[in-house]
Amino acid sequence: MPKTCFILNPTAGPNRRRDTPALIAQHFGALEADYVVSLTERAGHAVELAAAAAAQGYEVVVAVGGDGTVNEVGRGLLGTNAALGIVPQGSGNGLARHLKVPLDLAAALRRLAKPDFSRMDVGRINGHPFFCTAGLGFDAHVSQHFAQAGTRGLSTYVKVTLREYRRFRAVPVRIEMNGQELLETSCYVLAFANASQYGNNAYIAPLADLRDGLLDVCLIDDLPVWRALKVSIGLAMGNLPQSKAAEYFHTAQARVVAPEPLGFHVDGDYMGHATEFDVELLPLALAVAV
Ligand SMILES: Nc1ncnc2c1ncn2[C@@H]1O[C@H](COP(=O)(O)OP(=O)(O)OP(=O)(O)O)[C@@H](O)[C@H]1O
């Protein structure tokens, strides 16, 4: 069994289980495994804890939380030999769902006792690594307002999305991909998908492959009500590309310029506004244990 460090975000997810450390002890203690559990104390702490665990020789460092926790642990592990594990305890759990990690806590822990090791691509937007998705426009705008909502969970997310849909307007952008100027268009959503979904099985790029050296880029130039319905159904059914409500591209590098500041998110967390975005893919940059 690999030497394993669990990094637990006690604030992640709608349920915030208190018994997770006891369940880890139950599943790993009996196996005489070499493991440790660390709790995060603040946002950003998991980056430091993960880097320290890798430096101490832990072979698998497990993010116990959602995509924000996965992002922090993944960032801490970049450039090290340790592999990322996931125990999904978040709200959306996009990367865990893509990797088919069991959502059941006990089942996820059992898998980590004998994980399969592989590697995955990592995206980067304006220097910020992302593992699942990053994006500009409406999805970032929703992340910004979701973070300010006071409560989390799917129902808050849906409420914020519907409220902000009435307010948000598309912004003109110029997009270059693979070194070529490709389009001048308006941007309602421009998503860069390393994995297939945002979380909660909302498939923004159902064909995305974590190991193909490419990002799946999804452009929605505007979102009138009829198209919003098509997009919602496409996200849920995993057939957005066939619905013609969005346009798709594949690239390992992109540059986006906007005349006015546009919000962006990284793995669902709002990062701020910018007028220029440099996006790149780091092929197979992270080891994973799932
Ligand atoms: N101890 C802590 N106190 C406050 N915030 C924390 C702490 N530890 C981590 N965080 C922050 O909590 C945020 C939310 O965590 P995470 O994304 O894992 O859960 P989630 O939002 O419920 O799930 P998902 O992203 O899958 O929807 C992260 O961005 C992280 O920076």
What is the predicted ipTM?
A: 0.97
Ligand 1 contact, 85 CB (< 6 A): no
Cα–Cα distance measured from residue 285 to residue 290, given in angstroms and rounded to the nearest whole number: 16
Q: What percent of the chain has pLDDT over 90?
A: 85
The one-letter amino acid at 74: G
Atom of ligand 1 nearest to the CA of 70: 18
Class of domain 128-283: mainly beta
132-171 in b/e form (b: 16+ CB < 10 A) is bbbbbbbbbbbbbbbeeeeebeeebbeebbeeeeeebebb
Residue 121 has a pLDDT of 98
153 pLDDT more than 80: no
Ordered by start, the domain boundaries in the chain are: 4-115, 128-283
- Alpha carbon 188 to its chain centroid, in Å, reads 20
CATH number of 4-115: 3.40.50.10330
Ligand 1 contact, 167 CB (< 6 A): no
Residue 6 has a pLDDT of 97
Span 221-233, mean pLDDT? 96
Ligand 1 contact, 268 CB (< 6 A): yes
Q: How far is the CA of 141 from the centre of ligand 1 (A)?
A: 18
Span 33-51, mean pLDDT? 95
* Pick from 21-35, 128-142, 186-200, 237-251: least confident: 21-35
Reported as a pLDDT band with limits 50, 70 and 90, residue 15 is low
Reported as a pLDDT band with limits 50, 70 and 90, residue 4 is very high
pLDDT tens per residue, range 269-287: 999 999 999 999 999 999 9
Return the best residue to mutate from 6, 9, 198 for the ligand 1 pocket (most ligand atoms within 8 A of CB).
9
Q: Which residue has the tokens 């995060």?
A: 40
154 pLDDT more than 90: no
Tell me whether domains 4-115 and 128-283 share a fold: no
CB 134 within 8 A of CB 190: no
Cα–Cα distance measured from residue 264 to residue 12, given in angstroms and rounded to the nearest whole number: 21
Q: Which residue has the higher pLDDT, 96 or 28?
A: 96
Cα–Cα distance measured from residue 101 to residue 40, given in angstroms and rounded to the nearest whole number: 22
Ligand 1 contact, 269 CB (< 6 A): yes
Ligand 1 contact, 88 CB (< 6 A): no
Ligand 1 contact, 74 CB (< 6 A): no
Q: Which two tokens stand for residue 219?
A: 């452009």
